[in-house]
Structure 1
Amino acid sequence: MVDGFKKTWLFFPPDELQSMPELADVPSMPPSMAENLDLFARHGLDNNASLIGIDYPSRTLNVYFGEIPPECFEPKVMISTLREIGLPDPSEHMLGLGEHAFGIYVTLGWDSPRIQRVTYAVMTPDPASLPTRLDPTIERFVKSAPYTYDAADRRFVYAVTSSNDGEYCKLQSYYQWRPHMLHLMLLADSAEGLE
């Protein structure tokens, strides 16, 4: 069933990461972005928005950050950040993955000043190698998801999200992959999380 336009994405060039205060000044941005500028600044995330995803039916906006200060992935910082936002304390699973993460993104909405979700993302050639147990259905997906590039270059993004409803995981597979994607994802100079 086709039911209309749902989501759009805006990618910023890696050498032109965007300022959160400037984005918050855009009239169509959710007020929750401006409400959380101090938090973004305290964590060194105020001048490095790399991607925005707008989910129209959900009335939410995801902000993905690039060039993230390494301390944002430290367990004590993850715990204090989620507490400050008002989200549940992270599980050991989330803390373990966070130590290998390359990315963080937040979900903001137009109907609340709060950050709704925080996600930590890890890139890996083999999700089974991460400190997590994969459900058998997910294992089958990992083994059978189609791709058009050399198996030695296989990439997945495994993410764990904290929300008021608890934690949940997401797994992204790439059908097509180009080496320049590491540059676009700000991973070109780091093998962190790729092993």
Structure 2
Amino acid sequence: MSAQADIETVHSAIEEAAGLLNLTCSPGTVRPILEAFGPFEGGVIFSASAGEGHAGDLDLTIQVPRAIDDPYTHALKHGFVPHTDHPVSTLLSDLKEHVSVDECLIDFGVIAGFNKIYVHFPRDLQGVAQLAALPSMPRALADNAEFFARHGLENVAMLSIDYHKRTINPFFTFPKGLEAKTISSLLHEFGVVEPDEELVESSSKIFRAYPTLGWESSKIDRISFARSLDLPTIRPRVEPEIVRFVTGTPYTYDGERFSISIVKWSPDDTWFNVGSYFQFGPIQRAVLGKVLR
């Protein structure tokens, strides 16, 4: 199959997924990114946020082809990210110099455009101290190291870099989940006064947890917990189109659609993200096969 055919297939799937959210896929935003980062050799994931003030876009996470050695420089060349002297511009190169990276992925919205690069290293898990030592890493990671350690957030398998918001997410991995009482303790210390007990219990089956950190302060903006889709828990808490989306997006593999649900907490808000895999990359399938329960 040609790269152009791949682009048409993925673009058509994006249009279908966007329609489930009552959104229109803008060719002027989506197609240039697909053309720059095709062909699609690995994972393609649809996701959407739910909750007042958080919904309104369809996000795509797409594995970067191996022929693109430096996805940040590639995105810069195509005008998807601004040129800057900020440390955000060198974090990817710092990571690739010190960590054995298995794959990179990009994240973009059909409305917002290019957002993030994900750096995935599940076979070279990193501790907080190792990552905090990188020259361009936000000091917020080191400043919160004791908080993470107290609550069992130890091994990082992936890191995302948002080039417009200038934030990062270290993705802590949990092959066996995390006890509900630990999550409750973490949220209380984070400033969530009365976390929803059902959501806390659901989050105990997570395979990833990730705080949002920036360069401007040591403050943790939010903490997110990702698990395989828990539709009975999230259904009454999200908009009907989110349920339609996460149960109706197209996919390319045998068996049932694989979807995830993510609970996001800040001290004064709780909201959700849902994601469905259109196509798996080999590393993603291997990683998820170890943690699905």
* TM-score normalised by L of structure 1: 0.82
Give the counterpart of 1:103 among 188, 191, 208: 208
Aligned to 1:24: 132
The RMSD of aligned alpha carbons is 2.3
Match of 1:155 in 2: 258
The question of 1:66 aligning with 2:168 is answered no
CA apart distance, 1:107: 0.8
CA contact under 8 A between 1:44 and 1:69: conserved in structure 2? Answer: no
> Percent of pairs identical after alignment?
36
Structure 1 regions of 5+ residues with no counterpart? none
Determine whether 1:132 maps to 2:229.
no
Size of the aligned set, in residue pairs, is 182
- Give the match's secondary structure for 1:33: helix
In the alignment, the residues of structure 1 paired with residue 197 and residue 127 of structure 2 have an alpha-carbon distance, to the nearest angstrom, of: 32
Separation in 2 of the partners of 1:45 and 1:120? Answer: 12
| CA deviations over 1:22-51 (Å, ceiling 9, x no partner) | 1101111111101011122223333x1100
Match of 1:169 among 259, 265, 272: 272
Once the 2 structures are TM-superposed, how far is the Cα of residue 190 of structure 1 from its aligned partner? 4.2
Q: CA deviation at 1:16?
A: 1.2
Structure label with greater radius of gyration:
2
Instruction: Map Cα deviations across residues 50-90 of structure 1 (whole Å, 9 max, x no partner).
Output: 000011211210010124674xx323221211122234432
Q: Structure 1 runs of 4+ off > 4 angstroms?
A: none
Find out whether 1:38 has 2:140 as its counterpart.
no
Letter in 2 for 1:29: M
Q: Write the distance in 1 (CA, Å) between the matches of 2:282 and 2:132.
A: 33
One of 182, 197, 212 as aligned partner of 1:77: 182
- 85-94 vs 32-41, which moves further: 85-94
**How far, CA to CA, are the matches of 2:189 and 2:176 in structure 1?**
18
Amino acid at match of 2:239: D
1:61 maps to amino acid: I
Structure 2: gaps spanning 5 or more residues: 1-27, 30-78, 82-114
Matches of 1:180 and 1:56 in 2, distance apart? 25
- Corresponding position: 1:112 with 2:112: no
